[in-house]
Structure 1
Amino acid sequence: MNNEFLLHTADTDELQDKNYLDEYSRTVTDVVKATSKSIVNIKTRKPPAGRPVQNIYPTFAMGSGFVISSNGIILTNHHVVNNIGEIIVTTPDGKEYPAKIIGADAATDIALLKIEASGLNPLTFTDSDRLEPGQIAIAIGNPLGFQHTVTSGIVSALGRTLRTQSGRLIDDVIQTDAAINPGSSGGPLLNSKGHVIGVNTAIIKGAQGICFSVSANIAKYIATELLTKGKIKRAYLGIIGQNVNLPNDLINQWGLVKKTAVYIGGVDNKSGVENSALQKGDILIQLNDQVVGSIDDLHKLLTEKCINKELNLKIIRKGKLLELKVTAGELS
């Protein structure tokens, strides 16, 4: 009896043929190829505490980021570069650049860096309000120092609320099962076209397949403000909110313009905010005659012009339309 056996393998030409890949694999590989030149590695080192010890140097921590402007503007997470003494950005071609922080916002965990480089390849943001659970999500970053690691999954849920390391809450967070590990923070979450739908920011320790990204719309708005003003000064209503779909009978009853609004999941009676008229369970649909269809809308409306000002709100409470007044404080 012949004990020899034969392993069947595809020939080289077949393996190199793009048609060998299924549609999902082609989508992911095309995104990786299109965006690979835009993802950077970020090394950070904190200044030594107390007196320096000779010949002993603090080790680098790792993070990720991506190019948003060809002249060297990098977007990453605030927690990646917060309280850091030295920042080194490594581009995909292996070049290292010292970086400086040009703006940061702990409330949304977004920060911008500047490196002295030109001709870089920026990524494109898409409208994250149009995301739907179940669509493809691709994360690229540098987890645990392993550069340019690609993971993929789906958008698991929308409108999550996440508490940052600073203790502040980020609203309108995207939940995904695309694996995000330490060192991936600050990298992009991409759709099937290679456009940014979020900025990878957090995981839940001990859980599998539960990762979070700041939505592209919030990241884009914050980045624009940081570029033009250098800091974010915003008003604060003292609420915990999330996006909610409105039932058709409510839309028709009150002639609402948008099919979504902001559900108030909690009220924080913070000093400087007079919001006693609000209750948990209220649905916010309008602020100062401006329609509020999402957390993104609310963030854009709560500018520094609203600080210490009386604001007119329209809310739905137990099916009834109410008009209320609150006084906004400043988000510290």
Structure 2
Amino acid sequence: MGSRPRFIDDLPPGAPDAADATAALPLADDDALLDAYSRTVIGALERVQQAVAFISVERRLPGDANGHHGHGRGTRGGTGSGFLFTPDGYLLTNSHVVHGATHIRVTLADGAKFDADLFGDDPDSDLAVLRIGSPEPLPHVELGESGKLRVGQIAIAVGNPLGLAQTVTTGVVSALGRSLRSNSGRMIYDVIQTDAALNPGNSGGPLINSAGQVVGVNTAIIPGAQAICFATAIDTAKWVIMQIFAYGRVRRAYIGVAGTTTPISRRVQRYFGLNLVSGVHVMEVVKGSPAAAAGVRMDDTIVAVDGVEVDSVDGLQRALGASRIDRVVSVAVLRGAQKLELALTPVEQAS
């Protein structure tokens, strides 16, 4: 017969008993046992943990012609994550967590529960802002800068996967500049890819760096894949937040191009006197759009709007804010050996 498994508390024959074995070990301070990586993760987590929220929602089920609902219930529930980004009760989460909800409930890390109002919703970026009321200032996160991220640096995800509150997973930034299609069908650009494990319920939670700053909003996974997860860049989220605070919705200027962030060679940089290392490569021009009317062509590279350099799709979107709607703007494009200034008039993007 084979030998039985040895458990970690088994001692071999002739060994001292457990008390003697324990006494023989030098005492160690728990803090001294933590390596640098562990300390980094713990320190970053301590900066955000109290601001991470569990979100539960109720939605009405669609009824038939007689008003009957499936499964004998009039509502269905859902859960997700979010985080406070101001001390007066504003939270950021994913649009798909709260979109269409009839009731939103927020539970903070200390167990405090609040009914939340949907302050602003932007399905195109899969982001939403909630508001809760509290007589006291609330713990909140610090928003970082996703534009400074580098592939390989530590990424820490905090959320409530499968209802397991305050779950922490770690990994690295796997890639930058990804594109992801939102539930509305429009593309979200400059998405962060990470291998910090995400599961249903993580949606809307923060992705943080080693300093405890939020650099992304955990958004999606690829079903069946291993450790391929995505977060909306916090630079995009900050722009969405400002739009919601200013207008109650996100107003976007539409010019009618689809593009991708592309590197610009040093030779081209020197030739045109550019300070940019990348621009926006035009992959499609919508027929009848402002860009088409202005003469923008497929394979052009957009490098500036009204003299402000544009180095990414996210940067182009920010440059085409609400203030540009119905105003003539100058768009600089590279086309072969030419740098052209094209005048176009953005219109407001349809909801």
Q: What TM-score do the two structures reach when normalised by structure 2?
A: 0.86
Equivalent residue in structure 1 for 2:60, among 29, 36, 47: 47
Residue in structure 1 matched with residue 13 of structure 2 by the alignment: 4
What is the aligned partner in structure 1 of residue 204 from structure 2? 186
The alpha carbon displacement at 1:3 in A equals 5.6
SS at match of 1:166: coil
| Mapping for residues 1-332 of structure 1, pairs under 5 Å | 4=13, 13-14=27-28, 17-50=30-63, 51=67, 56=73, 58-117=75-134, 118-264=136-282, 266-269=283-286, 272-275=289-292, 277-332=295-350
Distance 1:21 1:31 in 2: 14
Amino acid at match of 1:131: L
Give the Cα–Cα distance (whole angstroms) in 2 for the partners of residues 129 and 331 of structure 1: 25
> Which residue identity is paired with 1:67?
L
Superposition deviation, residue 271 in structure 1 = 5.9
- 1:12 Cα deviation from its structure 2 partner: 9.6
- Paired amino acid for 1:18: D
Q: CA deviation at 1:175?
A: 1.0
| CA offsets 1:233-269 (integer angstroms, 9 cap, x no match) | 11112223333332222111111133332233x2251
Letter in structure 2 aligned against 1:130: K
For residue 94 of structure 1, what is the amino acid of its counterpart?
G
Task: Give me the whole-angstrom Cα distance separating, in 2, the residues matched to 1:39 and 1:151.
Answer: 14
- The answer as to whether partners of 2:60 and 2:76 remain within 8 angstroms in 1 is no
Per-residue CA deviation, residues 250-292 of structure 1 (Å, 9 max, x unaligned), is 111111133332233x225166544263344322101122211
Distance 2:206 2:341 in 1: 40
**Separation of aligned partners in 2, 1:330 and 1:204:** 32
| TM-score (ref. length: structure 1) | 0.90
**Pair member with larger Rg:** 2
Contact conserved, 1:172 with 1:242, CA < 8 A, in 2?
no
**Structure 1 residues 22 and 3, CA, compared in 2 at 3 Å: closer, same or farther?**
closer
Going from structure 1 to structure 2, the CA distance change for 1:27 and 1:5 (only over 3 Å counts) comes to: farther
CA positional deviation for 1:211 = 1.0
TM superposition shift of 1:139: 0.7
Paired residues of 1:287 and 1:311 also in contact (CA < 8 A): yes
Residues 267 and 278, structure 1, Cα contact 8 Å, conserved in 2? no
Q: 1:19 to 1:308 in 2, by over 3 A?
A: same
Determine the C-alpha separation between the residues in 1 that align with 2:179 and 2:95: 17
* Structure 1 residue 56 displacement after superposition: 4.1
Shift of the 3–231 alpha-carbon distance from structure 1 to 2, 3 Å rule, reads closer
List per-residue Cα deviations over 1:79-137 (Å, max 9, x = no partner). Answer: 11111111100000112111011111122111100111232111111121111111111
More displaced 10-residue stretch of structure 1: 30-39 or 290-299: 290-299
Structure 2: unaligned runs, 5 residues or longer? 1-10
Change (3 A) 1:274 1:314: closer
Secondary structure at the counterpart of residue 44 of structure 1: strand
Q: Which amino acid aligns with 1:38?
A: A
Q: Is the 8 A contact 2:257 2:291 kept in 1?
A: no
2:163 and 2:153 mapped to 1: Cα distance? 28
Distance 1:3 1:169, change over 3 A: closer
CA RMSD of superposed structures (Å): 2.5
Q: How many Å separate the matches in 1 of 2:87 and 2:262?
A: 37
Structure 1 segments unaligned to the other structure (5+ residues):
none
Preserved CA contact (<8 Å) 1:46 1:85: yes
| Aligned-partner residue type, residue 33 of structure 1 | E
Q: Secondary structure at the match of 2:121?
A: strand
